[in-house]
A and B are shown apart, each in its own frame.
Chain A
Amino acid sequence: GAVVSQHPSRVICKSGTSVKIECRSLDFQATTMFWYRQFPKQSLMLMATSNEGSKATYEQGVEKDKFLINHASLTLSTLTVTSAHPEDSSFYICSALLTSGGAKQFFGPGTRLTVL
């Protein structure tokens, strides 16, 4: 149980285009999902908290107009990187919060974004 999927697993796009990444909780409902970004050999940096049916909460320094988050259902959150630039190239990971049995975050497999 507690499986989280992400799609796509990797994407290469041209500078200036937008990319959408999906995060799904496959066997549980998650009112809260989180989006992280990881640079090589660095920690996971929380970008935003995605709440079903309401606006996402962004961490300081994260541009909400650039990283659009939509949590339209209890099993799906999407992150759209708008007008992507090469510096947006990174490993993006989502997690879904399972509240039963003690709140734990279960992570997706991540999405490798490369902006040319």
Chain B
Amino acid sequence: DQQVKQNSPSLSVQEGRISILNCDYTNSMFDYFLWYKKYPAEGPTFLISISSIKDKNEDGRFTVFLNKSAKHLSLHIVPSQPGDSAVYFCAASARMNTGANSKLTFGKGITLSVRP
């Protein structure tokens, strides 16, 4: 049972354009969402997070949008750069109900390729 879904396995965009990475979840207990970036043979690197009390969080070129009613979040990267090419994982946790130590549930990831 995949509670966090990243249905598109890959995305290719032109340098300078916007990259939109989508993520859906099924567990209504999730209240904290994170995006991680991962290069091959390396551990994931934290990018940005959002709490369920917000619908948008912005950090530089990265913005995460949360639509709780649709159980959907998206990561926008603008402008996209070739160095952004990596696998992006969406993750969710249920912090309010289980405390700060609650575990993360990851999606399968999406491979982003930014063409020069």
For the residues of A in contact with B, the DSSP-based class is: strand
Count residues of B near A (Cβ-Cβ below 8 Å).
22
A86 to chain B, nearest CB (A): 20
Contacts A44-B89, A104-B34, A110-B42 known; 9 new A-B pairs at CB < 8 A: A43-B108, A45-B106, A49-B103, A97-B101, A107-B44, A107-B46, A108-B43, A109-B42, A112-B41
Size bracket, chain A contacts: 20 to 34
A92-111 interface code vs B (CB 8 A; 1 in, 0 out): 01110101001111111110
Contact of B106 among A6, A32, A44 (CB under 8 A): A44
Q: Is the CB of A106 within 8 A of B46?
A: yes
Most buried by B among A4, A6, A45, A109: A109
A37-80 interface code vs B (CB 8 A; 1 in, 0 out): 00001111110010100000000000000000000000000000
B58 to chain A, nearest CB (A): 16
The reply to whether the CB of A91 lies closer than 8 angstroms to some CB of chain B is yes
Residues of A near any B CB (own CB < 8 A): 4, 6, 32, 34, 41-46, 49, 51, 91, 93-95, 97, 99, 102-110, 112
